[in-house]
Structure 1
Amino acid sequence: MSSKISVTIIARSVAAALACILLLTGGALAGATKAQVKDTLTLRTGPGMRYDQTSTLPVGAALDVQRCMALWCLVTHKSQQGWAARDHLSFGKYPRGFMSGPKMAHVLRGSGKVCFFTGTKFTGASICSTTGTVMPDLALYGYDNAFQSVKIEGEVSVHACRDFYFGSWCETIAADQPVLNRYLRRGLSSYRVW
């Protein structure tokens, strides 16, 4: 059996497994980030042009983004799930262009530190950072999607995002949160302390 046929069989098996999960969860997976289609979008069975096309979505279609990697995102639209080219998605309220997610008011506050905890109410393992710290990919430190609460000490704020390199949904936090909001709780992948 050639390696191209093996990859196709594996990709279709993964797509079938994802479809079963989608059906069992009623089409809505917890913690998904919202996005819009900004250009006509082709869904594929895997993250790349070499994977088979499964469907096409129109401009403005609402999507749930499960996870992004470099140039591709795993998305769900109604009963359809597949991989979409990231440059065809808008993470803002309306389709506005590449990486046009919500505009955050970054408040430069001063000195202090921000501590993220793996447990709610400031419990469990933690990472603390001071003003100026930039953590673009928590997976490199073994803490991707691990945190559930944040404590702010002093005059700082933190710009926290669901995906690495500040992609997807982000929030600026300037006060303690014993439980992170539903988009960041066990979904935080990057942050910057101001």
Structure 2
Amino acid sequence: MNRKTRKTLINIATGVAVATTAAIVFLPAANAAPGVVTSNVNLRSGPGTNYGVIGTVRRGEQVDVQQCQGSWCYIIKSGPDGWVSANYLSAGGSPVNPSQPSISFGFNIGGGNGPSVSIGVGNQPGTQRPPIIVEPSYGEVCFFDRTRQRGDSFCLEAGDSTRDLRSWTDRISSISNPDGLEVQVCAETNYRDCRTYTTSASSLGDFDDYIASVRVR
């Protein structure tokens, strides 16, 4: 059963009605990237100061960047989601280019068995991200069943993988990846419909609670 089907069944069972309130077309879920807010900033209902303020995002908060339009990016976080200026975001500790924020977040679509994205922060088109060098004996990634690295968890080392999470299927909500390993999380078993992180993630956006297989490289 694919991620969309599982999500539909869960929504029907819990009586959740999802309404589309904006005419903005977002990138697929696999195209999200982790970012950090660099200063307190207003969260707006659209990509511009002419849109209403719907909340505030605090300095240091980790967010999931869903897409960017102009110099604005749509973020997913704990609480309401919305648009912030790219001037107030960083990617992997580096400032975001406000004129081309998507490049700063390293969106790179491709892959074999279904959609995939490699989130290599700061990549420029036509360049290859250098390999991440870690000590295998120390490199470890932990997966949590709540956002912000809370709740029950399990950990994998570099080279570990599981093609079927079984009891952990559709439970992972955040990732701790302090050593910068390549962590592939997939909405389907056997590593299909995947997203790859090279940083920690306090929330997983549309992949929250829809992960069925993982591997660490």
- Name which one, 1 or 2, has greater alpha-carbon Rg: 1
Q: TM-score by structure 2 length?
A: 0.41
Q: TM-score by structure 1 length?
A: 0.46
